[in-house]
Structure 1
Amino acid sequence: MSTITTTALQTSYPPILPKSFNGNQPKTIRLYPLSNYTFGTKETQPEEDPSVLARLKRLEEHYVEHGMRRTCEGILVCHEHNHPHILMLQIANAFFKLPGDYLKPEDDEVEGFKMRLNERLAPVGSQFSGEGVNEDWEIGDTLAQWWRPNFETFMYPFIPAHVTRPKECKKLYFIQLPRQSWFAALLSFGCWLTACVEVLSVPKNMKLLAVPLFELYDNTARYGPQLSAIPHLLSRYNFEFIDENGQVVAVTPGGGPEDGYVPKTRVLAGGTDEEMKDDNGIKDENGIH
């Protein structure tokens, strides 16, 4: 058996410094730690359709009366140990989806989207309910458009050549999360109120997950083509990772997760006590969106 010995390459030539690679730099986004936010549950929100066939039938009825259906979903990003995580809903321990839903025919796109985000994630009786609620969501860039050419489950990130009247368009928006939740901000100022509420609440029949980007990447078997494409969509940005004290602790490119730490999906709300404690979250469960 031969032995391979690795030695440092020695040369008399001076090192060649690469030229600047900073032309047309992407936008830099600040990501705040998961620990800056608080999570809870609220009343169950049953799914409107008992089956996929029923959902497609309702889509057809909508199309006949109102034309193409408009759907908006949000990509909410935070970080855990300097690795981006996506906030995502899981329904019936099977299907994964982003917060958001279809718009009503009369809705303005952005304002209607904010209302659907409130329905999914705003806690009852919080600062998110009532007049002026829609100002609390910061709707960022449109990151993707998916098209449904027919009354079927398949959607595409383009309109097929033979399709002139798609039945649905789904837009994925980047949602900039604030530095910390209203609840955490009150505590940081020493304000102890008996009526403090969680800033993000998920219906009891759903789970709110924090899914690391590496778990989504190239994982269409588990998450489907739309969700597994999110790492590609976010690659357009640079990130600054902020700690609980508001200090920049890592940047893109730069330091990664702490030594020995492996990012894992976490159940933030809506799971059992054991799931809430277990960093592995729902990795043993199956389901796609």
Structure 2
Amino acid sequence: MGDDGRLHAMDDDEASAADQRPSIHIYPLSNYYFESKEPLLFKDETFADRLLRMKSNYAAYGLRTSVEAVLLVELFKHPHLLLFQIRNSIFKLPGGRLRPNESDVDGLTRKLSRKLSANGASDASDWEVGECLGMWWRPDFETLLFPYLSSTVKGAKECTKLFLVKLPESRKFVVPKNLKLIAVPLCQIHENHKTYGPVISGIPQLLSKFSFDIIET
């Protein structure tokens, strides 16, 4: 009886802690509609070309800042993350690089509208940009992104910010023909660095402070 009592108390504590977490409303994937539009133009460049471009842009504008959206839907009673799939093996979050002096919210709204809306027009009312979930840093041009910036680094070259973007109950996504928008379960993404890279594979951990409120419609 004592063991059962202790177990029951632990369960109550866990339930209480879960209730205190902020919740995210997520809606079934079947609530959303998908159409296609003209493909986006991508730079077809080698690693050396990209490195040269990054150095040139850094010399002109300083720190490069990118903003990316965490968009969640429900499928099979489990939260899924919306990702772009490029050439079957590259996965990216919707978003992109900010323009000089552009705010995080304005830049992310512009990128989401360009890549996921019919006419590409930037309208802040179309996207509910929430809190910043995390920031990743590139200390130099060659290395990968890190979720921290060491005090020994003088002048990081790039910062990537992840924002929770809350989807409405229903909406239409209009996706460029050369991109595929897919829903991937968080359990598949978790710590799967090889497939999704360090930033995307770390998102389930960033979301652990939330509870998921699946809204059936």
Change (3 A) 1:99 1:38: same
Change (3 A) 1:94 1:53: farther
Is the counterpart of residue 129 in structure 1 residue 121 in structure 2?
A: yes
Deviations 1:218-255 (A, max 9, x none): 211111111111111111100111112xxxxxxxxxxx
TM-score, normalization by structure 1: 0.69
Matches within 5 A, 1:237-248: 237-244=210-217
Residue 153 of structure 1 deviates from its aligned partner by: 4.3
Conserved in 1, the CA contact under 8 Å of 2:133 and 2:162?
yes
Matches within 5 A, 1:120-159: 120-124=115-119, 129=121, 133-159=123-149
In 1, Cα distance between equivalents of 2:3 and 2:180: 57
In 1, Cα distance between equivalents of 2:164 and 2:3: 45
**Structure 2 residue corresponding to 1:174, chosen from 164, 167, 178:** 164
**Structure 2 residue corresponding to 1:15, chosen from 4, 16, 19:** 4
Is the counterpart of residue 200 in structure 1 residue 173 in structure 2?
A: yes
Residue 54 of structure 1 deviates from its aligned partner by: 2.1
Deviations 1:59-110 (A, max 9, x none): 2111111110110000100100210000000112221000000001131221
Count how many residue pairs are aligned between Structure 1 and Structure 2. Answer: 211
> Hey, what does 1:225 align to over in structure 2?
198
Conserved in 2, the CA contact under 8 Å of 1:86 and 1:211?
yes
Conserved in 2, the CA contact under 8 Å of 1:49 and 1:55?
no
In 2, Cα distance between equivalents of 1:158 and 1:116: 25
Is the counterpart of residue 119 in structure 1 residue 114 in structure 2?
A: yes
In 2, Cα distance between equivalents of 1:226 and 1:200: 24
Aligned identity (percent) is: 38
Conserved in 1, the CA contact under 8 Å of 2:114 and 2:121?
no
1:235 counterpart SS class = helix
In 1, Cα distance between equivalents of 2:86 and 2:94: 11
Residue 161 of structure 1 deviates from its aligned partner by: 3.3
| CA RMSD across the alignment | 1.8
Gaps of 5+ in 1: 1-11, 182-198, 245-289
> Hey, what does 2:41 align to over in structure 1?
46
The AA in structure 1 aligned to 2:121 is S
In 2, Cα distance between equivalents of 1:13 and 1:174: 43
Residue 14 of structure 1 deviates from its aligned partner by: 7.9
Instruction: Name the one with the larger strand percent.
Output: 2
